[in-house]
Amino acid sequence: MAGPIAPSSVTLSEPVKNSHFAFAAMTTLFFIWGFITALNDILIPHLKAAFDLNYTQAMLVQFCFFGAYFIVSPIAGKLIEKIGYIRGIITGLLTIAAGCAIFYPAAEVEVYAVFLLGLFILASGVTILQVSANPYVAVLGPESTATSRLSLAQAINSVGHTLGPMFGAALIFATIGVASEDAEISAKAVQFPYLLLAGVMIATAIGFKFLKLPAIQSQESEHEVKSTDSIWSHKALVFGTIAIFFYVGAEVSIGSFLVNYFSQPDIAGLNERQASQMVSYYWGAAMIGRFVGAALTRVIAPIYVLAFNSAIAIVLLFTTMNTQGDVAMWTVISIGFFNSIMFPTIFTLAIRGLGPLTGRGSGLLCQAIVGGAILPLVQGYVADMTNVQFSFIVPVVAYIYIAWYALVGSKLTSRSATVAK
């Protein structure tokens, strides 16, 4: 899942002499946070085994990670206003490095709470990175091609999502025998991969320090500052915020359970390393879906594409809940493809017609990413009370709401604003 553009008004403070180079540099950041976010899907079953956790406890990984979006996003925005976008990027990278580095002592002392602290710090860095990089990419060229640039950057983000689980499977599980259940080894197996990530973050931060990138600055219009309209009066935005909450929650929740799900004898019977590699197909399907969806939404109304994809996701979830073997495995993996267009489509529908309230509406939608912290916990609780297969009823509820939003909620208007149908 790529972060949205924060549509606050920003502009380049100097002409771009080499926009292609600057854009290439920025896309590395999209890759980084996609890679790190997807790596959580491998970390969760690993820590679950290492600390003998139930599913609810294991999902605290996502709770701490996505909870940082909710808490840190407003702080990050104010920070960027003070230090600028380039320094914000460097700060984000170094914060990620600090979070990754904490994994080493966390594994040494074998305390789950220390891992969670490291994850929160790591995710705080990712949040700062997103708040810095998204608007930078938006203004790095003509306004008419801003959407195209962000779409390409999001595709690179999806590449990171796809490769992250492969990296985790190769390095985290490489030091463990297939049948090993040794908790100490399992905990310490994350030390090298996350130290390696910390080193890469530091090196990238140093690189951005010395790159000659143009600076951008914020510009607030007088109309925006004096607007007294309330974002809460815009029903499409309010219901869209809930839709973002459910979408991110469903996408993250499904990915978080895949390794444990594929490890079950009646589903795929894979060992953890094999199951971790299969998670890449889930995120890889989303990457392919971004390109297909971008083409489809040019010729078909986005509300219908969103409703169709939601309906197919519901069918696939019910199928995986009531089958076994390869059918159960590949149907849940296929959901990644239909997830692909949901975030940008919901986001666009939600901010239509907001005018000077677009910045505030965007901030509200960004905070709704906290769904990635809440829904995995809910599904974990259901899995503990029943079983993993039945727990997929939680994302089913989420997709039902998203389908409703596509066909009904996105069309609702208020007295203070009329949303274009």
User: Residue 383 belongs to a domain with what CATH number?
Assistant: 1.20.1250.20
Mean pLDDT of 391-417: 88
Q: Of 125-139, 257-271, 349-363, 402-416, which one has max mean pLDDT?
A: 257-271
Residue 284's pLDDT band (cuts 50, 70, 90): very high
Is 416 a member of any domain? no
pTM of the full predicted structure? Answer: 0.82
In this predicted model, which residue has the larger pLDDT, 417 or 98?
Answer: 98
Whether 175 has a pLDDT exceeding 80, the answer reads no
Mean pLDDT of 251-262: 95
Q: Which of 36-50, 197-211, 295-309, 345-359 has the lowest mean pLDDT?
A: 345-359
Instruction: Please answer whether residues 50 and 253 qualify as being in contact, where contact means their C-beta atoms are separated by less than 8 angstroms.
Output: no
Whether 419 has a pLDDT exceeding 60, the answer reads no
In this predicted model, which residue has the larger pLDDT, 258 or 157?
Answer: 258
Residue 225's pLDDT band (cuts 50, 70, 90): very low
Instruction: Please answer whether residues 23 and 337 qualify as being in contact, where contact means their C-beta atoms are separated by less than 8 angstroms.
Output: no
Number of domains in the chain: 1
In this predicted model, which residue has the larger pLDDT, 300 or 174?
Answer: 300
Mean pLDDT of 297-310: 90
1-31 confidence digits (pLDDT tens): 555 444 445 555 555 555 778 888 888 998 9
Query: Residue 55: which domain range?
Result: 10-409
Mean pLDDT of 401-407: 96
Residue 13: per-residue pLDDT = 52
Is 192 a member of any domain? yes
- Count of CB atoms situated within 10 Å of the CB of 332: 28
Residue 213: per-residue pLDDT = 76
Is 293 a member of any domain? yes
Q: Of 54-58, 207-211, 268-272, 275-279, which one has max mean pLDDT?
A: 54-58
Is 420 a member of any domain? no
Is 254 a member of any domain? yes
